[in-house]
Each structure stands twice: as structure tokens, then as C-alpha cells.
């Protein structure tokens, strides 16, 4: 892959930073997009990545500014579209804060990719496009054929999963309309070593557990996955042209209570709450949920190692003593 250029939108984020690093390791030239080139919190850790001096080019991009997207994609052969808003705290204006940039931004990226003749777009969707899905049959594992219940999300004010669901559906619609080759990845709760200076929402779940939070995340949890596995999965989907459709990115489907119990087992000195065994009624536990990615050669990291890598990173960053 020496010299081939690809674009990573949302490169400063938790997954994006690791994806950029692994692409650089493989010899790619990376066009990495950020919201503000003058914000050291977005750019500093990217510039410090190994190989960045030779292979990294930073671009300021706005999901609603088509020209800025074209500028970032120009000269590349493929794009990894990770950029999507994720509001921390109360959502005041769902349309402006989440829905419009997620949906229109995805349409803009795929349209620009087709216009510029890119070979493939890997679209980062989410487990949030698969759950919550309360009406899914309780005896059937949730997987790539399951979609989040849009009416349920609207009634509960779950705007983030709604934004991810509509953005992914928009990606498929525009790709069909434009005849653009896309493939989608749907990661579960992404954990592991932190590269950005700002703590992301999924790793914050582990921190909250270790500090005694009893919130159960029953609407969203379906399993956890190592951030480096997610980054590697993106590359597998880009490089394997036979890969088609959606790809659930987690080895096993588990309950949030299973995960919390593992954290408590590994770190007994912390006040991790105990949860009932079945924290998510209707969610069927299953092994090898990510078999499509496993068949492409992805080896998922076990939950125990995922937890250890996350907690040790939190300690190293000063979030835990």
C-alpha cells in the first residue's frame, strides 16, 4: 500500500486516531480531516503519530460544506467516513446538532467520493443502527439484518441512534443512486487505549463503572470491541473488495451485566456495582456475532484484555489512581 492515499474523516476521534496510525503503519498516505486545524486538541496527537511526518496530511472539513469534503478527498483512492456528531449531555436541537450533519454529511461524502472517482467508501455506522430494537424476536440473535426501531427512538428522545440509523440508510440510498461502492461497519461499544486528549463516551462508561455508577445502558449495549480491532476491521473492509453489506463488529453478543461483572472481577478494589444477570431482557447472547469480519481474517481481542487495556490507559492518562 506504499504511497496509496486514502482519506479518514473524523480522524481526531477515538477510532479515527487508531485508524490513521494503522494506515500509516501499512504505508498509506492519509488525508485526515478535523473540524479545526487550529485546535491542538484535534491535531496534536495526530501529528505525534509514528509516520505522521511522512504520510499524514491534515484537512479542515465541515460535513455541511461540500467543497471542504471535495478538497479532503481529492487525490485519494478511498475514504473511511467516521465523522459524525455525538453530543455529550442534553440535546437541545436534535435536527441541527445531530440529524442534519450526520445524514447530509454522509450523503456529501459519498457523492464527493463518486464524483472524484474513488474506488471504495468504508462507512462507519454503529451498533446504534442495530439497537435499540425492542420488537426484534427474542429467540433470534441481533445482527446485520436487524435495524434500530426509529419510532421507539423518537418516542424516547434517543437522537444519537436515530442519527446513526438514518445516516447509514442514507449511505445505502446514495450509494445505490450514484453506483458507488460502499461497505459498512457497525462496531459495538469501542474500548481500549486512548490516543486523543479528550475522553470519548464509550471509554467513559468504564470509568463510570469503576467509580460506582449503576447506569445499565440497556438501550445500547450489545457487546464490546477493542479499538484496534475496529481500526483493523476498517482496513480489511477496504482492502477486501469481496466484502459487501453491513458488518457487526464485536465477537460476542453479551449483556451489560456480563461486562460489568468482568470489570468487577478484574478490578475488585474498585466499587463496581453488581447488576442482575439479564440486564437487557430480549437480548439473546451469542458467540461469533462478528463472523463476517472473522471470515475476512479479523481476530477479536477477548473481553478480559479489552477491559485491561482500557483501565490501564485510564490510569496512564490520570483518570484513575
Mean pLDDT of 109-119: 98
Residue 321's pLDDT band, with cuts at 50, 70 and 90, is confident
Pairing of strands 56-60, 29-34: parallel
Considering the candidates 107, 114, 142, 164, report the single residue annotated as catalytic.
164
What residues have CB less than 8 Å from 56, skipping those under 6 apart? 20, 24, 29, 30, 32, 46, 47, 49
Q: Which of 266, 255, 251, 252 is nearest to 298 (CA)?
A: 251
Evaluate if residue 40 carries a pLDDT over 80.
Answer: yes
Q: Tell me the C-alpha distance between 308 and 262, whole Å.
A: 10
Q: Which of 16, 5, 17, 13 is nearest to 57 (CA)?
A: 5
**Span 214-232, pLDDT tens digits:** 988 888 899 999 999 999 9
* β-strand partners of 124: 185
Phi-psi region of 160 (alpha: psi -120 to 50; beta: other; left: phi over 0): alpha
Evaluate if residue 305 carries a pLDDT over 80.
Answer: yes
Residue 272's pLDDT band, with cuts at 50, 70 and 90, is very high
- What pLDDT is recorded for position 87? 66
- What pLDDT is recorded for position 1? 58
Nine-digit cell string for 71 = 478538497
CA angle 132, 308, 315 (to 5 degrees): 105
- What pLDDT is recorded for position 218? 80
Evaluate if residue 252 carries a pLDDT over 90.
Answer: yes
Q: Are 159 and 84 in contact (CB under 8 A)?
A: no
Residue listed under C-alpha cell 455508577: 213
251 is catalytic: no
- What pLDDT is recorded for position 249? 98
pTM over 0.85: yes
Q: What values do phi and psi take at 225, rounded to 5?
A: -150, 145
Q: Tell me the C-alpha distance between 240 and 260, whole Å.
A: 35
Mean pLDDT of 167-184: 98
- What pLDDT is recorded for position 89? 64
- What pLDDT is recorded for position 99? 95
Amino acid at each position: 500500500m506504499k504511497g496509496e492515499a486514502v482519506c479518514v474523516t473524523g480522524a481526531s476521534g477515538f477510532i479515527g486516531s487508531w485508524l490513521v496510525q494503522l494506515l500509516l503503519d501499512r504505508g498509506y498516505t492519509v488525508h485526515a480531516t478535523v473540524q479545526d486545524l487550529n485546535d491542538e486538541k484535534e491535531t496534536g496527537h495526530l501529528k505525534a503519530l509514528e509516520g505522521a511526518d511522512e504520510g499524514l496530511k491534515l484537512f479542515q472539513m465541515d460535513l455541511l460544506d461540500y467543497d471542504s469534503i471535495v478538497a479532503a478527498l481529492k487525490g485519494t483512492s478511498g475514504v473511511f467516513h467516521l465523522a459524525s456528531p455525538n453530543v455529550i449531555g442534553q440535546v437541545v436541537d436534535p435536527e441541527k446538532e445531530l440529524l442534519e450533519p450526520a445524514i447530509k454529511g454522509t450523503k456529501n461524502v459519498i457523492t464527493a467520493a463518486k464524483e472524484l472517482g474513488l474506488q471504495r467508501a468504508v462507512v462507519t455506522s454503529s451498533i446504534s443502527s442495530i439497537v435499540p430494537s425492542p420488537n426484534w424476536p427474542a429467540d433470534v440473535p441481533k445482527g446485520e439484518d436487524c435495524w434500530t426501531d426509529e419510532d421507539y427512538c423518537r418516542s424516547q428522545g434517543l437522537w444519537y441512534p436515530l442519527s446513526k440509523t438514518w445516516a447509514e440508510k442514507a449511505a445505502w440510498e446514495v450509494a445505490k443512486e450514484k453506483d458507488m461502492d460502499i461497505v459498512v461497519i457497525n462496531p459495538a461499544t469501542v474500548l481500549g487505549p486512548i490516543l486523543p486528549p479528550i475522553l470519548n463516551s464509550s471509554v467513559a462508561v468504564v470509568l463510570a463503572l469503576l467509580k460506582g455508577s449503576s447506569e445499565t445502558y440497556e438501550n445500547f449495549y450489545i457487546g464490546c470491541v477493542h479499538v484496534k480491532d475496529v481500526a483493523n476491521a476498517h482496513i480489511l473492509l477496504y482492502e477486501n473488495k469481496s466484502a459487501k453489506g453491513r458488518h457487526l463488529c464485536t465477537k460476542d453478543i453479551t449483556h451489560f451485566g456480563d461486562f460489568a461483572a468482568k470489570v468487577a472481577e478484574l478490578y475488585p478494589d474498585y466499587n463496581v456495582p453488581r447488576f442482575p444477570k439479564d440486564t437487557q431482557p430480549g437480548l439473546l447472547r451469542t458467540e461469533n456475532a462478528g463472523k463476517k469480519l472473522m471470515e475476512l481474517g479479523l481476530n477479536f481481542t477477548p473481553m478480559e484484555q479489552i477491559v485491561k487495556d482500557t483501565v490501564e490507559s485510564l490510569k496512564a492518562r490520570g483518570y484513575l489512581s
